[in-house]
Amino acid sequence: MKFSLSWLKRYLDTEATVDEVAATLNAIGIEVEGVEDPAARLAGFRIARVLTAARHPDADKLQVLAVDTGEGKPLQVVCGAPNAREGLVGVLGLPGAVVPANGMVLKKSAIRGVESNGMMCSTRELELGEDHDGIIELSKDAPVGMPFAQYHGASPIIEVAITPNRPDCMGLFGIARDLAAAGLGTLKPLAVEPVEGAFPCPVEIRTDDPEGCPAFYGRVIRGVKDGPSPQWLQDQLLSAGQRPISALVDITNYLMLGHGRPAHAYDLARLNGPVVARRAREGETVVALNEKTYTLDGEMTVIADDTGVHDIAGIMGGEHSGCSEETTDVLLEIAYFDPVRIAKTGRKLNLTSDARSRFERGIDPQFLDTGLDYLTALIQMICGGEASHVVRAGAPPATPKIVHFAPSLTERLGGVAVPADEQQRILEALGFSVVAGQAGFGEAWAVTVPGWRPDIDGAADIVEEVVRIHGLDKVASVPLPRADGVARPTATPMQKLERRVRRAAAVRGMHEAVTWSFIPEAEASVFAEGNGGLWILANPISEDMKAMRPSLLPGLLSAVRRNFDRGASGLRLFELGRRYLRGEAGMSDERLTLGFVLAGEKTPRGWATGKPATFDAFDAKGEVLALLAEAGAPVERLQVMGAAGPQYHPGQSATLRLGPKNVLARFGMLHPKVARQFDIDGPVALAEIHLDAIPARKGAAAFARAHYAPPALQAVKRDYAFLVPVETPSGDLVRAVQGADKANIVLARLFDDFRGAGVPEGQKSLALEVTLQPVDKSYREEDLKAITDKVTAAAAKFGAVLRG
């Protein structure tokens, strides 16, 4: 929420600077997100008078102006505005000034051969309005040479974040009330005189949905003249980030932003019959002010007449009945809507608005008459017109909420001692009514909660109000009690695994990426193979964040594309997070996963290497094996099986499994079709490691405590060369050999794969280095022969024959 300091001072009598206001807001729990000084943006712009205006010698639509800037010698400026003329007083941007609307730096230049020293500016260029038909025209007595920021009175703008529990601060008057309670000034009471109607209201107003709309008030004002709102009103709306539209619309927005009270003005000529708050009929439609059509259901409250729906109650008005320059008679509507109904309707329609954000938090139900009179007085002051009597249908909730509160509770819950009279002052300054010493309640006070504070439920909430206004910085920092001794570790085994694997990926030269858990449905569907369907959000942040990711790879591939678009040549990215699958009975199944992508240049070009090297499937496999080993997976027992899936290149991908069903990782090259879908050029190696599928290591605790001693005897190495069918995976042969004699063989490693002269067609020669480790005595010849027999027997199961 934004507001200007000048607007705040309409409600708060204070001499405080913008820095003091910002500091106090932060101190009382209203977070300041930023402070902007429009005067700084208007630096370099001065009030100037046009002394002469002559036609440009080489352009029909340009004029050459002699401009007085108050410094003696006039400046020559080329201008194309149709209203530029002798005697006009306007705003000149001098060389070096930055135009707020587009960031252009003004400089001395030649336009069609004529020197120009700056620019005469329009309101749009200075972001002071939407007018761009001509340059700004100031009054004749405007002081020439004065900085325009000083003349305009540009007020600092404060932006604050309002938490959902503070609906009273959704209006600037509520913020002023808090600041006054904190001692920063005096709150100016809202003086609203009741507007007596001059004639009976010609429109029947009623509520047929007392649950959704308990109170519905209205009146007609006839003979109004709509048009641009006064400059003071436009300035206040612009400071809040609102675009001025017309006087009638701007006045309702001014009430909403100033007092947190949405209201609506209908063009009476476009209404037909009674105006009713009712439930929508199934399938009814309405074209809202955002020009979108919404289909309604029977759980939604609407404002309608005999012709149909005109307003999605409490959220957005309809386009058909909105006011325009032709409007002469208006119906003002101000109502109280059920907050829960408003929230449900907004979620169903995926429709947000300033009105909804206030109604669903809860507004003051007692501000109906005052708000309607205030709105009427502003319209009559700005647009003229004659008001009717007020019609009231229903009544707002009127039972006051009373909380019994003991002043001693503040020190017990809040940790700070505040005198009882100071507590009473704070509460009354915030609008609470305090009655002390009520019979039967001991020291407890009876505190009546004002209607604009629906967030107050009990005594603890009263403590919070007292403490935050008294000063959160006055609450002493007290250490929590701690038992003697060394604290026990609290990290779970899974948390330790995450830390270990994340550190290992970083050590191996990868950069961690953090991507959204929500991704576009089109990208998610590419990686949804075999995952039982996608989780699609019913109310997503946007269409591009609609599906819960079934894999980490779509987000990483999008990151690759963004980095390539910005000139990156080589990328090694990883992410550790959850992927979201559909489990049994429609329950969410979250899986801890590590994904990584290797894209672009593996090594840059050089005099020795020539062209840059790119990543391949073996790079991905090597990284997967290293990370699995770090995670504690039994990599020596893993089997390489099948293609990794349709997202991967069918001939350059595989899975790593423990048995036929337990998939620990998928790796390989990205399928070219998927690469095109993500708009990525060049080969991409990628993988996904399913950390949740790694089995727990049996006896890990006992193993960790065991003392390690190196073998007393030296290891023995033997080389074996086998002829095997060419389609036999080398990994299968290596595992078979290593498991042939577990008591003696500690490692089997492939070091040669030969196909050529001397090797029969259809076969290949695989050479393995086998490491043998004697335990209590050295090997004899017959021991080595027995081990060799076991090795050849194990290899024979795969059709392998020992070469001579």
Binding residue ranges for Mg(2+): 455, 461, 464-465
Cβ neighbours for 53, distance < 8 A, ≥ 6 positions apart: 63, 64, 65, 66, 84, 85, 86
Could you tell me the end-to-end alpha-carbon distance of the chain, in angstroms, rounded to an integer? 85
> Angle 247-259/368-383 helices, nearest 10 degrees?
140
Which residues, in sequence order, are bridge partners of residue 667? 654, 687
- Give DSSP secondary structure letters for 302-352: EEEETTEEEEETTTEEBSTT---TT--EEEEEEEE--HHHHHHHHHHHT--
Instruction: Give CA–CA dist 802/723, Å, rounded.
Output: 6
> Pairing between strand 12-13 and 2-4?
unpaired
Of 190, 189, 216, 198, the closest CA to residue 368 belongs to 216
Residues in the chain, overall count: 804
> Sign of the CA dihedral 276, 277, 282, 284?
positive
Q: 313-343 as b/e, with b when 16 or more CB fall inside 10 Å?
A: bbbbbbebbbbeeebbbbbbbbbbbbbebbb
C-alpha–C-alpha distance, residues 578 and 515, integer Å: 11
Residues 6+ apart with CB under 8 A from 517: 548, 549, 577, 578, 580
H-only helix segments in 490-590 = 493-507, 521-526, 553-565
Nearest-angstrom CA–CA distance, 338 and 210: 9
How open is the CA angle 257-262-265, to the nearest 5 degrees?
115
Provide CB contacts within 8 A for 614, sequence distance 6+: 600, 601, 602, 682, 683
Q: Return the biggest CA–CA distance within the chain.
A: 121
- What region, left, alpha or beta, does residue 569 occupy, with left being phi > 0 and alpha being psi -120 to 50 degrees? alpha
Binding residues: 455, 461, 464-465
Query: 89: closest CA among 22, 131, 30, 135?
Result: 135
CA atoms of 146 and 71, how far apart (whole Å): 10
Instruction: Give CA–CA dist 664/593, Å, rounded.
Output: 10
Strand partners, 653: 668
CA distance 783 to 550: 53
Phi-psi sector, 686: left (phi>0), alpha (psi -120 to 50), beta? beta
Separation of alpha carbons 769 and 754, rounded Å: 15
Question: Residue 184's closest CA among 402, 62, 25, 411?
Answer: 25
The sign of the CA dihedral 156, 161, 166, 170 is positive
Q: Which two three-digit tokens encode residue 40?
A: 């700084």
* Of 316, 413, 408, 298, the residue nearest 359 (C-alpha): 316
Q: 177: how many CB neighbours lie within 10 A of its CB?
A: 21
3-state DSSP call for residue 726? coil
Question: How far apart are alpha carbons 121 and 79 in whole angstroms?
Answer: 9
What are the beta bridge partners of residue 303? 277, 311
**Alpha-carbon gap, residue 263 to 355, rounded angstroms:** 8
Neighbours of 711 (CB within 10 A): 10
